[in-house]
Amino acid sequence: MDQSSDTQALKALNGVERSALLMLGLGEKHAAEILRHMGPKEVQEIGLAMTTLSNITNSQMEMVMQNFVEAIGEQTSLGLGSDEYIRKMLTSALGADKASGIIDRILLGRSSKGLEQLKWMDSRAIAEMIRSEHPQIIAIVLSFLDPDQAAEVLAEFSEQVRSDVVMRVATLDGIQPNALHELDEILDKQFSGGTNMKSSSLGGVKKAADILNFVDGAIESKVIEEINATDEELSQEIQDNMFVFDNLIDVDDRGMQTLLREVSSDQLLLALRGAPDELRDKIFKNMSSRAAEMLKDDLEAAAPVKLSEVEAAQKEILTVARRLSDAGEINLGGSGGDEFV
C-alpha cells in the first residue's frame, strides 16, 4: 500500500479506532497506564476497536503517532488543577444554568470513589446493591450513572419503582454535599477506600429524559403513563426533552449518511416500519438510488411485525446516533448544513 492509500485508509478511521491504533503502538505497559485513567465506556470502546483493527501498515502507525505528538505539542499546563478556573471558564462559555450540572459532574467524577466504581459494575449487580434503598437514593445513584447504564439498572426494578424513581430524577435539582459525601462513603466501604466529595448537582428533567431514551419502548411508555397520572406537566416536560427516532429528521444530510453507514439494513427495515413519511424520504435521499429502491421494495413486501420489535430497532439506531454524536461525527441538532467538502 502506497503513502496516498495509507493516508486515505487512516482518514477512514474514526476517533475511537485511531485511539485504539495509538494504544497498540504504545505497547502494553504505556497503553495500560493511559487506559487506567479512562472510564468504563471508553475502555470498552477502545478495547473493542483494538480487536477489530487489521492490516495496519507501518506507515499508518507512524502517521497516528505523528498526529498524537503534534496534538500533545499544542497543549499547555495553563489552568490545570484549578477548580475555580474551570468553573469560571465553563460558566462564561455556557451560562450558569447549563454549566452547573457539567461542572459538578466533572468535579464529582474526579473526587468520588464509591459512586464512580458503580460504573464498572454489571447493571444487575448495581440494582441488587441499591434495591432496598429509599427511592430517593436510587434516583441519586441513577443520576450519577451514564444514561444507558442507568436505563439498564432501571429495567431491573418493578413498574411502580421505575416511575417513582424517574419522577425523583426529574425533580432532583440539588443534593447537599454532606449527603452525597455520606452516600459515596457508604458505597466506598463496600469496595474499600475513602473519598473527598465536593459536588452536589445531579438529576433534573433532562437526566430523566436521557435515561428513558435508553430503556425498552414498553418500559418507557409505562413510566411516562405513570408519571402523567401523577404530574401531567412534568410528564410532558420529560417527553419534550427526549430524543426520539422521529427527531432524526433534524440530522443534516452529511450526518445522516454517516449514521446509515453504521446501521444494518435489517435494523433500518424494521425501524422504518413506524417512521413518518418525511423521515423515510430523508433516509431514502441519503442512500444510493439502488439501495433506496431496494429498501422501498422490502418495506412494501415485508410481513407485519410486532410494535415492540420496531421500537427495539429504533432504539438500537438511536444508540448508534448518540455514540456518533458523542464522538463528534454527527450533529443531532441538525445545524451542520448539507454541503459536502
| 106 and 150 part of one domain | yes
For 105-131, the pLDDT digits (tens) are 555 444 456 666 777 778 888 888 888
Domain contains 263: yes
Q: How far apart are CA 188 and CA 182, in angstroms?
A: 10
Of the CA atoms within 13 Å of residue 167, those in its CB half-sphere come to: 21
Q: What is the pLDDT of residue 137?
A: 84
233 and 99 in a common domain: yes
Q: pLDDT tens across 227-266, in order?
A: 888 888 888 888 877 877 888 988 899 999 999 998 888 8
Per-residue pLDDT tens for 148-162?
888 989 999 988 899
Number of domains in the chain: 3
Domain co-membership, 273 together with 198 = no
pTM for this predicted structure: 0.43
Give the residue numbers spanning the domain of 106: 83-240
Shared-domain flag, residues 95 and 228: yes
Residue 78 belongs to a domain: no
Please write down the long-range contacts of 180-187, taking CB distance under 8 Å and 24 or more positions apart.
180/108, 180/140, 183/114, 183/115, 183/137, 183/140, 183/141, 184/112, 184/113, 184/114, 184/115, 185/114, 186/114, 187/114, 187/115, 187/117, 187/118, 187/129
Range from 62-76, 233-247, 319-333 carrying the lowest mean pLDDT: 62-76
For 297-323, write each residue's pLDDT tens digit. 999 888 888 888 888 888 888 888 888
Please indicate, yes or no, whether residues 135 and 262 belong to a single structural domain of this protein. Answer: no
| Cα–Cα distance, 234 to 136 (Å, whole number) | 17
Asked if residue 60 belongs to a domain, the reply is yes
